[in-house]
Structure 1
Amino acid sequence: MFAFGMDAYIIAGIIPEISSFFQINEAQSAQMVTAFTLCYALSAPILATVLSNVPTKKTLILSMVLFIAANLATIFSINLTMLLISRALAGIGAGIFSPLAAASAASLVPEEKKGRALGLILGGMSAGTVVGVPTGLALSSYIGWQGIFGLVILIALLGLIGVIAGVHEVNAPPPPSLKERVTLLASKQVSATIAVTFLTAVASLGLYSYLAPIISSITDTTQMTPYLWTWGLGGMIGSFTVGHLIDWSKKPRVLLVVILAVMSLSLCAIPFGLLLASPLMFLPFLLWGATGWSSLAPQQHTLLELQPQQGAAVVALNSSCNYLGGSAGTILGAVWLSNSLPIKSMPFAAAIVGICAVIIQLFIVHAHNTKNRVSKEVAVQISFKAGKGVPN
């Protein structure tokens, strides 16, 4: 999972090198992220039914072999078409593996350890993004962009060996099918919540894909590592603290409003912060990383509350929409650049998308509060009538 997280977003830091190597523009290079994340989001629900009769361990191994082979193809790509196809295949491999890995981890441990097992699976991918990406970028000047993908392959090979040698055959439940996920969208509350996840990903993950050209256009620097480390540090802080904030506030919907508002403000502050000659220039990246990574937990909490009987399907749907949003954001960024719009203004556009998510979330909070108030009023009326002997 660490390899998957690193593979998905390492492109954000090496876009200039890849653009120069293949003699393509930055918008075209960024579509490597689109190809990976789009296929990652769609492969699991579409292929879940097709692979339902294949033994779980065999599917895990085949998906990892596909992922490794696809990254080898990336290293030896000779043109943009081959590059995008290889990234799409890598996304398919990761998309098949990830939900099965979570289900397998939960089935391999006692009930009281399932939370830790799932946390380790999800934490692996987030660590690959917030730690693996800046680490790989720091090494890129020594091993080149091909060497970075070689490092991803090495990590994935270690995981493959671990699965082959250390995992017995498991009877994990199949991941939710595409039909199960789409059926959930019939609920207005679920659809609205998923829409917020999608827009948040468009703003946050979409902008992340263009971080290198944005920073270089404002600061004339090609050193991306400090900014990615700061973003990653913020992501780790947000990931580890948001659960405690949810438990403390007991209002995940309201908490998400605050998270999205801070995220939007931090995106707006990026162009101004980059002009500061002080450590404050990194503050927007710290806040962006913290809020972007912490936004998923309140959503999962809300969705599990709305659909307790369809927990696996609704969380999987939310994850798919997160990656679809990242893909859409990357495509929109390419459209932005292809129309010769100033790249320095891209953070403001992302912030506007984030504000749209805030507005929808405010409507969700209002609807939830109204529903609770009506329920309490009805309960009071029933209690009052019952106390007076009036039939219910």
Structure 2
Amino acid sequence: MADLSPARERGLLYLLALTQFTIIMDFMVMMPLGPQIMQAFAISPAAFATAVSAYSWCSGLSGLFAATYIDRFDRRRLLLVIYGLFALSNLVCATAGNFHMLLLARAFAGLSGGVLASIIMTIVSDIIPVTRRGAATGVIMTAFSLAAIAGVPAGIVLGAHLGWSSPFYLLVVLSLLIWLAAAWLVPSLRLHLQVAPPPLRQVLPELWRLLTDARHVRAFGLTFIMMVSHMMVIPFISPVLVANHGIAPQQIAWIYMAGGAATFFTSRRIGRLADRYGKHQLFRIMALFSMLPILFVTHLPTIPFLAIVAFFPVFMVALSGRMIPLQALLTTVPEPQRRGAFLSVNSAIQSLGNGCGAWLGGLLLSAGSGGQIIGYGSNGWYAVLLVGVALWWVGRVHALPALRTPVAAS
């Protein structure tokens, strides 16, 4: 465990949260830019969906492949190299002159982004003791809030006024500034290298053992279930609000800002509660609580726009609140020398779950004669059913005995 002063530890956590923010913004910003990109390249909605999907699938493959090498290098050096490639991918995306180049750039961004998410959580696990890891995870999860508060609205405003490529230029500048700060602030993390990694000829058998370890399989299963449930609802909120409730696309920014602001102020508090009362217990409470907002948003009645804005913070806090104890719990499952590989595979499972959830959710929807989206209520019921499965399944996911806290053990 790295020995850092409290001030440097705080600064490093905030820096990692900002790094995570750029990754999430890079993924999220594509969706509100859809109309501009389709017009700029004269492509169909299906082609645009391919560009969005390319990120998730490549992110998953990248995370899976990273499990073969992530524990072989100094965490600091690996973070700086991969994050530099991430900044380059956004520059390629911003300067893409045709749709094929854009598609390749999005795939490239997914390849680097998938590894970065694993590296960030691995660094958190290396520098923060398990008794405070829930609170630390809450800090990292504020990146989702910042992306909702600033990322989506920035994408909408910049895309409308300066063209679809402007948000990606912004990401390049932010990434370069964060890269410089990381080069100064992130310490060398080599403790995991004290246990010699297996030679390359043993990597694939070791990866297979990692994938088939019963404790790991149960953890991966929980991740997949939650991601599918999550993505059966989230991607279709904006289209349903516009098509079924007549909300103007530019007003969607206010909804995400309200939800993101709420999660920004609650993420760290939820992380502390996970440390205090146990990660299993808090996950069950937040997952159970999330069922009502999911059913409400997927069966949304005709209500004023301000009421929707007021409701969205409840929805966002409920959904993000179940992911914080889940992520903190998953960091306690593997042995320290396999933690990076485990989290890389888990990141790949997340991406796979994201893709499957969005795909399955889309299959349940259809267009009405008046342009309305039909079937969103079914998405809500299936999502709640999967949450119910997760409530049972989480009891089968256990921390490594040496890492169990008194609360978790009890």
Instruction: Give TM class, smaller chain.
Output: 0.7 to 0.9
- 1:355 partnered with 2:384: yes
- Hey, what does 2:234 align to over in structure 1? 208
Task: Give CA-to-partner distance per residue, 1:231-286, whole Å, 9 cap, x none.
Answer: 32343355233234435544x44543443344343233225546211532235532
Shift of the alpha carbon at 1:54? 6.0
Select between 169-178 and 53-62 the one with higher mean Cα deviation: 169-178
Q: Calculate the aligned-residue CA RMSD, in Å.
A: 4.0
- Hey, what does 1:228 align to over in structure 2? 256
- Hey, what does 2:82 align to over in structure 1? 63
Partner of residue 132 from structure 1, selected from 150, 153, 160:
150
2:164 partner SS:
helix
> Contact conserved, 1:18 with 1:145, CA < 8 A, in 2?
yes
Partner of residue 360 from structure 2, selected from 332, 338, 343:
332
Give the whole-Å Cα distance in 2 for the aligned partners of 1:160 and 1:225: 28
Shift of the alpha carbon at 1:355? 2.1
Give the whole-Å Cα distance in 1 for the aligned partners of 2:393 and 2:214: 10
Give the whole-Å Cα distance in 2 for the aligned partners of 1:258 and 1:56: 34
The residue identity in structure 2 corresponding to 1:122 is I
- 1:286 partnered with 2:305: no
- Hey, what does 1:389 align to over in structure 2? none
Give the whole-Å Cα distance in 2 for the aligned partners of 1:363 and 1:115: 24
Q: CA 1:33–1:172 in 2, change beyond 3 Å: closer, same or farther?
A: farther
Shift of the alpha carbon at 1:150? 1.1
The residue identity in structure 2 corresponding to 1:328 is C
The residue identity in structure 1 corresponding to 2:83 is M
- Hey, what does 1:40 align to over in structure 2? 59
- Hey, what does 1:322 align to over in structure 2? 350
Task: Give CA-to-partner distance per residue, 1:323-378, whole Å, 9 cap, x none.
Answer: 321222233355556x758873464343233223233234336779xxxxxxxxxx
Q: CA 1:360–1:191 in 2, change beyond 3 Å: closer, same or farther?
A: farther
> Contact conserved, 1:130 with 1:236, CA < 8 A, in 2?
no
Q: CA 1:214–1:183 in 2, change beyond 3 Å: closer, same or farther?
A: farther
TM-score (norm 1): 0.75
- Hey, what does 1:383 align to over in structure 2? none
Give the whole-Å Cα distance in 2 for the aligned partners of 1:247 and 1:53: 30
The residue identity in structure 2 corresponding to 1:242 is I
Task: Give CA-to-partner distance per residue, 1:19-59, whole Å, 9 cap, x none.
Answer: 33333344442443422233223313413535766665554
Partner of residue 297 from structure 1, selected from 317, 324, 335:
324
Q: CA 1:231–1:29 in 2, change beyond 3 Å: closer, same or farther?
A: farther
- Hey, what does 1:191 align to over in structure 2? 217
> Contact conserved, 2:119 with 2:340, CA < 8 A, in 1?
no
Q: CA 1:38–1:269 in 2, change beyond 3 Å: closer, same or farther?
A: same
Task: Give CA-to-partner distance per residue, 1:303-324, whole Å, 9 cap, x none.
Answer: 4666566655555544432232
> Contact conserved, 2:130 with 2:332, CA < 8 A, in 1?
no
Structure number with greater CO (CA < 8 Å, separation at least 6) is 2
- Hey, what does 1:96 align to over in structure 2? 115
Shift of the alpha carbon at 1:155? 0.4
* Percent of residue pairs bearing the same amino acid type: 20
2:32 partner SS:
helix
Give the whole-Å Cα distance in 2 for the aligned partners of 1:227 and 1:110: 34
Shift of the alpha carbon at 1:181? 6.4
The residue identity in structure 1 corresponding to 2:235 is S
- Hey, what does 2:292 align to over in structure 1? 265
Q: CA 1:48–1:142 in 2, change beyond 3 Å: closer, same or farther?
A: same
- 1:146 partnered with 2:165: yes
Unaligned segments of structure 2, at least 5 residues: 1-18, 398-410
Shift of the alpha carbon at 1:71? 1.3
Give the whole-Å Cα distance in 2 for the aligned partners of 1:24 and 1:212: 21
Select between 127-136 and 82-91 the one with higher mean Cα deviation: 127-136
Shift of the alpha carbon at 1:195? 2.6
Shift of the alpha carbon at 1:201? 1.7
Shift of the alpha carbon at 1:158? 0.7
Shift of the alpha carbon at 1:212? 3.2
Unaligned segments of structure 1, at least 5 residues: 369-392
> Contact conserved, 2:67 with 2:345, CA < 8 A, in 1?
no
Q: CA 1:322–1:83 in 2, change beyond 3 Å: closer, same or farther?
A: same
Q: CA 1:333–1:231 in 2, change beyond 3 Å: closer, same or farther?
A: same
2:315 partner SS:
helix
> Contact conserved, 1:12 with 1:212, CA < 8 A, in 2?
no
Q: CA 1:327–1:366 in 2, change beyond 3 Å: closer, same or farther?
A: closer
Give the whole-Å Cα distance in 1 for the aligned partners of 2:118 and 2:301: 38
The residue identity in structure 1 corresponding to 2:348 is S
- Hey, what does 2:101 align to over in structure 1? 82
Shift of the alpha carbon at 1:153? 0.9
Give the whole-Å Cα distance in 1 for the aligned partners of 2:274 and 2:226: 18
Give the whole-Å Cα distance in 2 for the aligned partners of 1:271 and 1:53: 45
Q: Which structure: greater helix fraction?
A: 1
